[in-house]
């Protein structure tokens, strides 16, 4: 059995990865400061013998090194992951996302037993380029401090790979959604926020005209990519898009969720937010080539599963 250290493992994506790895019988250590992560996300695995939870901050290099020393793989998901938050608190986002990532790489460099770091990055790196689909070779065009922080993390990963031989893989996520995503946060992502609002019989707020589009990906697709990234040697040093390769408008998303929930919907439109991109669509050819990645869940199936999870949880 391999030992996996998941930074931010009590967060949305990290906890879904933890559930998968624990179920596979792997040894898992969750390293989280529980600022945005929640212990409720670990329900069902907290008592597992092959899981250990450490309350720690990625900005604390000393503590991070203690856990990295005994790890085969580090799946780095600790971050302040929000565009709008970063527009208000750029220093804090930079501190966690950039300095924290540098600490993870230094910890991995210190111990030869760490076979690979998998770094969770974001499609925000592409910015608002009109070119679709987004290909990893495109020039970065960040529109927010969050996007800048993620690009900085990517650059550190590639530098540590080329200069210090730290094996690192960058996964660029596109609009991930699914179970354990927090709908209550002030900066909640659109899918859980829409589900929460529609369940209460209210109309969702759409920023802009609703025609902006996103490549939404069900979280289990992202979990697959992380597992594959620890199993495929040739992916070292690469940046790989992780998505579905299809897109839907925000208005279309609202209408579909309303249909699934059996609600009528009349969205409220407000001014577009600074930092938001207009259209996003991934080319996932490279992930298919280097990881053997193929999304198993399309957006409609993923949305139905997500709605069912939230309904059961609230039931």
pLDDT digits (tens, 9 = 90+) for 64-96: 999 999 999 999 999 998 889 999 999 999 999
**Do 178 and 218 meet the contact criterion of CB atoms below 8 Å apart?**
yes
pLDDT in tens, 242-287: 999 999 999 999 999 999 999 988 999 999 988 888 999 999 999 9
Residues 16, 48: Cα–Cα separation, whole Å: 15
The tens digit of pLDDT for each residue in 198-219 reads 999 999 999 999 999 999 999 9
**Domains in the chain and their CATH numbers?**
3-176+219-243+281-296 (3.40.50.720)
Q: Measured between alpha carbons, how far is 266 from 263 in angstroms, rounded to an integer?
A: 10
Q: Is the pLDDT of residue 315 over 50?
A: no
Read off the tokens for 210: 């609703």
CA nearest to 149, candidates 88, 212, 80, 84: 80
Handedness of CA 55, 103, 106, 165 (dihedral sign): positive
- CA distance linking residue 298 with residue 257, whole number of Å: 14
> What's the token pair of residue 254?
């609202």
pLDDT tens across 100-147, in order?
Answer: 999 999 999 999 999 999 999 999 999 988 899 999 999 999 999 999
pLDDT at 186 over 90: no
3-state per-residue secondary structure call for 101-165:
HHHHHHHHHHCCCCCEEEEEEEHHHHCCCCCCCECCCCCCCCCCHHHHHHHHHHHHHHHHHHHHC
* Distance in angstroms (rounded) separating the CA atoms of residues 222 and 277: 21
Q: Are 295 and 217 in contact (CB under 8 A)?
A: yes
């Amino acid at each position: 059995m391999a030992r996996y250290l998941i930074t931010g493992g009590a967060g949305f994506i990290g906890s879904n990865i933890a559930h998968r790895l624990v179920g596979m019988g792997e040894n898992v250590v969750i390293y989280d400061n529980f600022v945005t992560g929640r212990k409720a996300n670990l329900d069902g695995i907290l008592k597992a013998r092959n899981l250990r939870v450490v309350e720690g901050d990625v900005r604390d290099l000393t503590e991070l090194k203690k856990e990295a020393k005994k790890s085969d793989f580090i799946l780095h998901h600790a971050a302040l992951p929000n565009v709008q938050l970063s527009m208000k608190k750029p220093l804090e986002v930079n501190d966690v996302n950039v300095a924290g990532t540098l600490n993870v790489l230094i910890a991995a460099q210190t111990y030869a037993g760490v076979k690979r770091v998998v770094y969770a990055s974001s499609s925000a790196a592409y910015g608002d380029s009109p070119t679709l689909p987004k290909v990893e070779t495109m020039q970065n065009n960040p529109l927010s401090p969050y996007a800048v922080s993620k690009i900085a993390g990517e650059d550190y990963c590639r530098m540590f790979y080329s200069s210090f031989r730290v094996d690192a893989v960058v996964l660029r996520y596109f609009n991930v959604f699914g179970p354990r995503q927090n709908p209550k946060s002030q900066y909640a992502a659109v899918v859980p926020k829409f589900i929460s609002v529609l369940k209460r019989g209210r109309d969702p707020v759409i920023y802009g005209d609703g025609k902006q589009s996103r490549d939404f990906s069900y979280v289990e697709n992202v979990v697959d990519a992380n597992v594959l990234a620890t199993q495929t040697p040739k992916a070292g040093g690469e940046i790989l898009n992780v998505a579905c390769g299809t897109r839907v408008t925000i208005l279309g998303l609202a209408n579909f969720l309303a249909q699934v929930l059996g609600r009528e919907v009349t969205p409220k439109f407000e001014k577009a937010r600074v930092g938001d991109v207009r259209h996003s669509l991934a080319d996932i050819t490279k992930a298919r080539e280097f990881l053997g990645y193929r999304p198993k869940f399309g957006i409609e199936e993923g949305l139905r599963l997500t709605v069912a999870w939230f309904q059961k949880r609230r039931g």
